[in-house]
Amino acid sequence: MAGINEYIILACILFGLGVIGFLTRRNALILFMSVELMLNSINLMLVTFSASRADMGGQVMVLFIFAVAAAEVAVGLAILICLFKHMKSVDINKFDLLKW
Amino acid sequence: MDKYIFLIPLFPLVGFLINGLFGKRLGKGVVSFIGCMTIAFSFLVALFIWKDLLSLEPEQRVFTQTLWEWMSVGGLKVDISFLIDPLSMLMILVVTGVGFLIHVYSTGYMYEDESYWRYFAYLNMFVFFMAMLVLGGNYLVMFVGWEGVGLASYLLIGFWYQEMDNAVAGKKAFVVNRIGDFGFVLGLFLMFWTFGSLSYQDVFPRALELFEHGGLSFNSPVLVAICLLLFVGATGKSAQIPLYVWLPDAMAGPTPVSALIHAATMVTAGVYMVARTNVLYTLAPTALLVVASIAAATAFFAATMGVLQNDIKKVLAYSTVSQLGYMFIGVGVTAYWAGIFHLMTHAFFKACLFLCSGSVIHAMGGDQDMRHMGGLAKKMPITYITMLVATLAIAGLPPFAGFFSKDEILGKAFSFAYYPVAGKIIWFIGTVGAGITAFYMFRLIFMTFHGEFRGTEEQRHHLHESPPTMTVPLIILATLSIVGGWLGIPEIIGRALGHVPNLVEGFLEPVFEHSHNILSAHAPHVHVSEAVEWTLMSTSVVVAIIGISLAYYIYMVHGKDLPQKLAEKYAFHYQVIYNKYYVDEIYEFLIVLPIYYLSVFFWKVVDAFFIDGIGVNGPAWLVKRLSSGARLVQNGYVQTYGTFMLIGLISILCFFIYR
């Protein structure tokens, strides 16, 4: 049986994977996936604490995060599609126009 | 009538504003009318006030009018106030009277000029400020007038500013004047510090009181300092050594300007100031000695410089400097009324001389060089006669005006109570100077009006007498040069003629009463017998006649060759005097150039390099360099931004964990 520590470690590892993916991958879609991974790791963390403390607050917040993440993905993908139409690529290294 | 004192400066001020703002559109007729009538009205008001003044007892002849409080700062309370006493009454009558004649003359002289309206605006502005100077009831109102006439002088000297030389002359006048004003202001500071006020009706009674009760000793250093500092201002304004250098250059302005400002009125402001301050000067004999000595030196040296000048106006300019020296000798030997009397007679004959020279210059088509003139007497009889009359006056021949005033000054110098020995030396220098004066003035007459015409054929055809607008003022001024002197007949002549009183001395007596009391109480009385007085007077006349005869001999009898031969024989002396002792060059080298290079240093190094370059542009350059580095952080890659966010997040967490 896994204690609370294992859940926390798992959430941290998932978060770390999400960060690494966000910072190193070139494909914009993979970036979005990494962001989702980070969000979901946080969800796991929240649910864990909610269960261990018998406090519903954590689970409620998770529902909020689901809704926000979904909205964010919708908007983000819409922007990405517009961007793709211009740049003909989803390589984020090509999106460097907003610079000095 | 004392409620209307303010009208005297108000009329010219209004004339200045109207002619200055609208003159261009009003046309010459209207401009002339406004310009002249304002001064005429001021003169009329002055006459009415004089009538009222005379109806009072001599001791009570003081009118004051306070317009409003100008400033009340700490212990200093100054009002815009006017004071009319015999001294300012005489001054304002001379200023507005002679001023009016010169305005009328100018309508003829300046007729062809396209900036006619600007000329009359400036001229009215000048009379406004001069009135403020003379009528002011305290030193600060006087100073406002003092500065204002300096401004008017600058604007009028550089009237034809399109010629660089004229603008430079105007600038020189103003700058030299300012140097004197620096001393004047320091004197005012010291005066306020000592007496707590700048008003005539406070300072002089307080000085007398302090003197009576021992607070202020005779010849106390503070008092001497105040008087000398004020005199520094006077050397600038009234062209004495060392600040006279602007006046000959000021001849670049129109001739009526030279007549009004640089002969009759503005330059006399210093003399008026010393006469006004007579109480303080009488209590500080050292200051008087300095004034009289510098004045004597100026009178003599300026006369020598006038001997060799060839420009008719320059001769008159040096003559003015010299005559101002005589006026300061007068006030310097405590003969205050005599200095003012000479101021009055000088206003008449010097204005006449300048206006006549203007008439000659007009006839010569603008040429001012006497070497091109000659024989003009037949072509311009009125100008000739009036100029001759004025010249006889300045040479000091009786019964013309200059004799009475100059002689009074020299006689009083001889009997200078405070410093009898110095007085006699000053008398001697003054008498020799008078001889030189007679010489160079008649040299002017002989070269200009007698002999044969030496100019071009074209000029010969152009020679003509001037129109009445110009000749009538000449006649009036010449008449005054004759009779003006009879207002101040010295006592011994008056007695000889049957109890003829000295009108000017009597009229001015209340103003100088306190000084005379101090003198009789504290100065060793110098008694000059009647015989000596007659001898002194005759000496002046003899010296003048010698001067005239010498001029006649050199320039009339041997006019064709003797001047040349003398110039060659005494070449060194000729060069030195002709170049005015190189004073301008010395000043240029010792004072002007160092200041010029200092200011170039301040401009190019301190201002352009340090303040602009490092102070202002420096930080801008720094910001630019730093920001051009800093902007590279924004490279447009989201992942870079994300990295920095992570680093920041971790730092904050560490901070909170390890706090």
Chain B residues near any Cβ of chain A (below 8 Å) = 631-632, 634-639, 642-643, 646
**Amino acid present at B606:** V
- DSSP 8-state secondary structure symbol assigned to residue B79: E
Please state the rounded mean pLDDT for residues B235-257. Answer: 92
Query: CA of B654, closest CA in chain A: separation in Å?
Result: 16
Q: Is some CB atom of chain B closer than 8 A to the CB atom of A7?
A: no
- Within-domain flag for A14: yes
Asked whether the predicted pLDDT for residue B22 surpasses 80, the reply is yes
Please, which residues bridge with residue B79 across strands?
A: B69
The reported pLDDT for the residue numbered A8 is 94
Tokens of B313: 């106006």
Q: Looking at mean pLDDT, say which of B251-260, B461-470, B512-521, B528-537 comes out highest.
A: B251-260
**Chain B residue closest to A27 (CA)?**
B639
Residue B131 Rama label (left phi>0; alpha psi -120 to 50; beta): alpha
Q: Give chain B positions within 8 Å (CB) of A93.
A: 637
Contact check, Cβ <8 Å, B635/A93: no
Q: Give chain B positions within 8 Å (CB) of A23.
A: 639, 642-643, 646
- Within-domain flag for A29: yes
The reported pLDDT for the residue numbered B635 is 86
Beta strands in B367-444 (DSSP E): none
Would you call B59 exposed, middle or buried from its count of C-beta atoms within 10 A (0-12, 13-18, 19+)?
A: exposed
Contact check, Cβ <8 Å, B634/A19: no
Asked whether the predicted pLDDT for residue B277 surpasses 70, the reply is yes
Token look-up 């005015």 returns: B580
Q: Is some CB atom of chain B closer than 8 A to the CB atom of A99?
A: yes
Which A positions 26-65 lie with beta carbon below 8 A of chain B? 31
Residue B420 Rama label (left phi>0; alpha psi -120 to 50; beta): alpha
**Chain B residue closest to A25 (CA)?**
B639
Count contacts between A and B (CB, < 8 Å): 29
CATH code, domain carrying A49: 1.10.287.3510
Tokens of B620: 């801008």
3-state secondary structure B249-281: HHHHCCHHHHHHHHHHCHHHHHHHHHHHCHHHH
- Within-domain flag for A93: no
Question: DSSP string covering B13-59, please?
Answer: HHHHHHHHHHHHHHHHHHHHHHHHHHHHHHHHHHHHHHHHHHTS-GG
Asked whether the predicted pLDDT for residue B594 surpasses 70, the reply is yes
The reported pLDDT for the residue numbered B81 is 93
Lowest mean pLDDT among B309-318, B440-449, B569-578: B569-578
Tokens of B520: 């009789």
Q: Give chain A positions within 8 Å (CB) of B646.
A: 19, 23
pLDDT > 90 in chain B, percent: 60
The reported pLDDT for the residue numbered B469 is 86
Give how far the C-alpha of residue B208 lies from the chain's centroid of Cα atoms, to the nearest Å: 29
Residue A95 Rama label (left phi>0; alpha psi -120 to 50; beta): beta
Q: Is some CB atom of chain B closer than 8 A to the CB atom of A22?
A: yes
Contact (CB, 8 A) for B234 and B243: no
Contact check, Cβ <8 Å, A96/B646: no
Which of A41, A100, A70, A94 lies closest to B638 in space, CA to CA?
A94
- Within-domain flag for A38: yes
Q: Give chain A positions within 8 Å (CB) of B642.
A: 22-23
Q: Least CB-CB distance to B636: which of A23, A31, A97? A: A97
User: Other C-beta atoms within 10 Å of B116: how many?
Assistant: 21
User: Other C-beta atoms within 10 Å of B221: how many?
Assistant: 10
User: pLDDT tens digits for B97-132?
Assistant: 999 999 999 999 998 888 999 999 999 999 999 999
How much is the pTM? 0.83
Which of B439, B444, B153, B429 lies closest to B315 in space, CA to CA?
B444
- DSSP 8-state secondary structure symbol assigned to residue B488: G
Instruction: Give the pLDDT band (50/70/90) at residue B566.
Output: confident
Distance CA B342, CA B338 (A): 6
First to last CA, chain A: 54
Contact check, Cβ <8 Å, B636/A96: yes
- Within-domain flag for A95: no
Instruction: State the Rg of chain B over Cα.
Output: 30
Task: Give helix then strand counts, H and E, for chain B.
Answer: 28, 2
Sign of CA dihedral B363, B366, B370, B371: negative
Q: Give chain A positions within 8 Å (CB) of B639.
A: 22-24, 92
Tokens of B62: 């003081």
Q: Looking at mean pLDDT, say which of B445-454, B522-531, B629-638, B644-653 comes out highest.
A: B644-653
Asked whether the predicted pLDDT for residue B498 surpasses 90, the reply is no
Query: CA of B613, closest CA in chain A: separation in Å?
Result: 28
Residues 6+ apart with CB under 8 A from B73: none
Instruction: Give the pLDDT band (50/70/90) at residue B598.
Output: very high
Which of B436, B461, B444 lies closest to B374 in space, CA to CA?
B444
Would you call A57 exposed, middle or buried from its count of C-beta atoms within 10 A (0-12, 13-18, 19+)?
A: exposed
Distance CA B364, CA B459 (A): 6
Contact (CB, 8 A) for B258 and B314: no
Query: CA of B163, closest CA in chain A: separation in Å?
Result: 58
Candidates B627, B628, B631, B639: best to mutate against A (most CBs of A within 10 A) is B639
- Within-domain flag for A98: no
Sign of CA dihedral B499, B505, B509, B513: negative
Query: CA of B648, closest CA in chain A: separation in Å?
Result: 14
- Within-domain flag for A100: no
The reported pLDDT for the residue numbered A59 is 94
- DSSP 8-state secondary structure symbol assigned to residue B466: P
Question: DSSP string covering B118-171, please?
Answer: HHHHHHHHHHHHHHHHHHBSBHHHHHHHHHHHHHHHHHHHTTTTTSHHHHHHHH
Structural domain containing residue A29: 4-88
Would you call B454 exposed, middle or buried from its count of C-beta atoms within 10 A (0-12, 13-18, 19+)?
A: middle
Q: Least CB-CB distance to A93: which of B637, B642, B643? A: B637
Q: Give chain B positions within 8 Å (CB) of A22.
A: 639, 642
Spell out, as residue ranges, where chain A has pLDDT lower than 50.
Answer: none
Contacts 24+ apart (CB under 8 A), A2-11: A4/A48, A4/A52, A7/A44, A7/A45, A7/A48, A8/A45, A8/A48, A10/A44, A11/A41, A11/A42, A11/A44, A11/A45, A11/A48
Distance CA B434, CA B371 (A): 24
Q: Give chain B positions within 8 Å (CB) of A99.
A: 634-636
Which of B481, B488, B502, B493 lies closest to B538 in space, CA to CA?
B493
Distance CA B582, CA B97 (A): 38
Instruction: Give the pLDDT band (50/70/90) at residue B378.
Output: confident
Which of B518, B555, B486 lies closest to B345 in space, CA to CA?
B486
Contact (CB, 8 A) for B238 and B133: no
Give how far the C-alpha of residue B349 lies from the chain's centroid of Cα atoms, to the nearest Å: 16
Asked whether the predicted pLDDT for residue B1 surpasses 70, the reply is no
Instruction: State the Rg of chain A over Cα.
Output: 17
**What's the number of domains chain A is made of?**
1
The reported pLDDT for the residue numbered B214 is 80
Query: CA of A64, closest CA in chain B: separation in Å?
Result: 23
Q: Least CB-CB distance to A22: which of B632, B634, B642? A: B642
Distance CA B346, CA B320 (A): 9
Averaged pLDDT of chain B: 90
**Chain A residue closest to B632 (CA)?**
A100
Distance CA B98, CA B474 (A): 11
Contact check, Cβ <8 Å, B635/A96: yes
Sign of CA dihedral B207, B211, B216, B222: positive
Asked whether the predicted pLDDT for residue B525 surpasses 80, the reply is no
Tokens of A77: 């993908």
Asked whether the predicted pLDDT for residue B434 surpasses 80, the reply is yes
- Within-domain flag for A96: no
